[in-house]
C-alpha cells in the first residue's frame, strides 16, 4: 500500500465553519504512481495542486474547483512527490463565499481563477513557500475571512437543511417554512448545485462509504439500513453506480 500521509484541519475561525467543512492536506515523498480517488459527495471541492497533477488523466490547473458530481474522479500527481490540499466546502459554502451559484459548476471542473480571481493564485504562491500545515491553514482562513458578508435570507436556512440531510438523508423537510416546496427546490438547486433528491442520494453514499471503512464488523445489510437506503437491493445498485465497485470490495487507499 502506498504511504500517503494526510492531516485533516477545520478552519480555526468559528465564523468560517458553517461554510467550510474541512481541509485535507495530503503528502508523500518518493512514491510513484500515487492515485487518490475523489468520490461523489455532497460537497463542492477546491483542489490545490502544489505538484504537477492530473485530474481524470488530464493535467489540471494549480487550483481547481470541482462541482458536485456522480462519478469517481481520479487525482494523480505526475512525479514521485505528493503535495495536495483538498478543501471541502459545506453545503452552502461555495455559493456564499464565491457569490456564484453552485449549479453553474455541477458536473464540471473549472480553474479557480474563474471564481476567485487572481487572489487565489496569490494564495497558492504564498502557501507553496511553506510545507507546514498549520501555517497553510492560517493562510486559507485569512483568504476566506474577508469574503464573509451578511448572508442572503435563504443562505442560513439552506445551510441548515443541507446539514440536516447530510446527517439524515431521510430528513423530512418542514412544511411551515413560509415558501413553497417548488420554490425551495429551485433555490436549493441553484445554491447547493443539485436538486434535493440528488443531494439525498449523495448523502446516502457518503454515509455508506464512511461506515464501510469505519465499521468493519457491520454487515452490508446493517450499513445499508444505517445509510437510509430503502432496502439491500437499492443499496447495492446505487453504491455500484456511484463508486464503480460492489460495496463488499470497497477498500480505497484513503477514504476521505
Total domains, the chain:
1
Q: What's the rounded mean pLDDT across residues 190-196?
A: 96
- Nearest Cα to 138, choosing from 150, 122, 126, 120? 126
Is residue 21, in this structure, part of any structural domain at all? yes
Ramachandran assignment for 56, one of left (phi > 0), alpha (psi -120 to 50 degrees), beta (any other): left
- Tell me, what's the pLDDT at 213? 82
Is residue 42, in this structure, part of any structural domain at all? yes
The 10s digit of each residue's pLDDT in 236-247 is 999 999 999 998
Q: Kindly state the percentage of the chain with pLDDT values over 70.
A: 93
Domain that holds residue 91: 5-147
pTM: 0.92
Is residue 33, in this structure, part of any structural domain at all? yes
Is residue 153, in this structure, part of any structural domain at all? no
Is residue 45, in this structure, part of any structural domain at all? yes
Is residue 236, in this structure, part of any structural domain at all? no
pLDDT bucket at 31, cuts 50 / 70 / 90:
low
Is residue 130, in this structure, part of any structural domain at all? yes
CATH of the domain at 25: 2.60.120
pLDDT value at 2 more than 60:
no
Is residue 178, in this structure, part of any structural domain at all? no
Amino acid at each position: 500500500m502506498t504511504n500517503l500521509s494526510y492531516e485533516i484541519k477545520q478552519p480555526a475561525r468559528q465564523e468560517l465553519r458553517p461554510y467550510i467543512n474541512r481541509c485535507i492536506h495530503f503528502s508523500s515523498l518518493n512514491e510513484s504512481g500515487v492515485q487518490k480517488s475523489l468520490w461523489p459527495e455532497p460537497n463542492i471541492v477546491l483542489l490545490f495542486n502544489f505538484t504537477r497533477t492530473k485530474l481524470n488523466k488530464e493535467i489540471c490547473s494549480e487550483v481547481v474547483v470541482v462541482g458536485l458530481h456522480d462519478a469517481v474522479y481520479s487525482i494523480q500527481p505526475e512525479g514521485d512527490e505528493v503535495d495536495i490540499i483538498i478543501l471541502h466546502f459545506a453545503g452552502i459554502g461555495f455559493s456564499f463565499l464565491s457569490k456564484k451559484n453552485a449549479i453553474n459548476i455541477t458536473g464540471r471542473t473549472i480553474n479557480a481563477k474563474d471564481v476567485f480571481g487572481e487572489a487565489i493564485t496569490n494564495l497558492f504562491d504564498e502557501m507553496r513557500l511553506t510545507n507546514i500545515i498549520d501555517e497553510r491553514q492560517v493562510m486559507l482562513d485569512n483568504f476566506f475571512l474577508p469574503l464573509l458578508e451578511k448572508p442572503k435570507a435563504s443562505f442560513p436556512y439552506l445551510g441548515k437543511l443541507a446539514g440536516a440531510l447530510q446527517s439524515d438523508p431521510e430528513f423530512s423537510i418542514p412544511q411551515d417554512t413560509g415558501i413553497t416546496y417548488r420554490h425551495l427546490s429551485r433555490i436549493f438547486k441553484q445554491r447547493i448545485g443539485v436538486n434535493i433528491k440528488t443531494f439525498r442520494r449523495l448523502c446516502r453514499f457518503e454515509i455508506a462509504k464512511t461506515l464501510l471503512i469505519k465499521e468493519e464488523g457491520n454487515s452490508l445489510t446493517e450499513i445499508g439500513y444505517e445509510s437510509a437506503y430503502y432496502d439491500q437491493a437499492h443499496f447495492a445498485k446505487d453504491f455500484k453506480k456511484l463508486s464503480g465497485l460492489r460495496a463488499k470490495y470497497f477498500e480505497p487507499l484513503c477514504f476521505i
